[in-house]
Amino acid sequence: MRVRRVLSTTLLLLGIAAAPAAADSSPSASPSGDSAAPTQAGTSFRTATEIEQGQQATASGSTGDYLYWSFPADAGQRPTVKATVKLPEASTRHAGQTWQLDVYDGLRRRQACQYGAQTRTAAQDAASVELACTMRTVRSWSETWANDPLPGTYYVRLTVTGLQASDLGLPVGAEVKVDSKDIGGSAAVDGSLAKPLVPGIATSAGKSDSGSGSSTAALSSIEPDDGWASGWWSDRWVWTAIGGILAALAGIGGYALTRGSGRPSRVPPGA
């Protein structure tokens, strides 16, 4: 009976503890519909159009232009960038076109993609070409020599890398969308950044601390819905607590099984 009670308590505690972990592992929510999706793109890192995760941004341009967008990514997220290029009329093109999608972090370091077609060549009669890049999981901290993705602003650059010179300047349309999957405790590391890698934020903080009374605004004003460093909580804490609970219950159960009924095996004479 005692062992059954211990097992029932274990199952109840596991159910309570696993609930936050299940909620934490859900994909990031889409932004509210209050903010309209951007309809243009920047032409450089400094003029990149800011988009929120979950928004589908659109832009019009010319073949040969560099199109830039920026978005925020926090620790524990694994962003996936998808882009669709609507090509000019086939009758106006003279050959196929090769398009490329690149992602850079706040330090303008090019980020590797775990999977996805970053570069694709469209046939001359193709109406569109689709590109994708699933990044590595954003870490809360990393060594200075590493190229790991860190919390902050990320840039998307879309451009054509191969075409005939006679096709330069033809009108094109582009659609870009960024979604993230919350990886959780499996990607958690010890340590965190003092500031996210947002261009201009370090300069702003340095001038404010010096007491000069002047500050420079960050070049990127967009951030996650629940603020930076929102990934401090992960299901690693939950499973660590579960492990401790299981160890304690195992000790209690083992003691209950080995101690017997609690009565002495022999009764002294005359007792």
Task: Give dist(CA 17, CA 204) in Å, integer.
Answer: 41
Task: Give dist(CA 176, CA 13) in Å, integer.
Answer: 44
CA 5 vs. chain centroid, Å, equals 42
Domain assignment of residue 8, yes or no: no
176 forms beta bridges with: 57, 83
Domain assignment of residue 238, yes or no: no
In tens, the pLDDT along 148-203 reads 899 999 999 999 998 888 889 999 999 999 999 888 665 566 667 778 888 865 44
Burial class (CB in 10 A: 0-12, 13-18, 19+), 90: exposed
Residue range 5-19: average pLDDT? 49
Confidence of residue 255 (pLDDT cuts 50, 70, 90): confident
Domain assignment of residue 206, yes or no: yes
Domain assignment of residue 153, yes or no: yes
Domain assignment of residue 243, yes or no: no
Domain assignment of residue 241, yes or no: no
Domain assignment of residue 65, yes or no: yes
Total of domains in the chain: 1
- Flag whether the pTM goes above 0.75: no
* Alpha-carbon distance values, 72 to 2, 102, 138 (Å): 53, 16, 11
In tens, the pLDDT along 76-129 reads 899 999 999 999 998 899 899 999 999 999 889 999 999 999 999 999 899 999
Domain assignment of residue 261, yes or no: no
Q: Which residue has the tokens 């003092």?
A: 194
- Its domain, for residue 94, covers 27-232
Q: Single out the residue of 231, 134, 247 nearest to residue 185, CA to CA.
A: 231
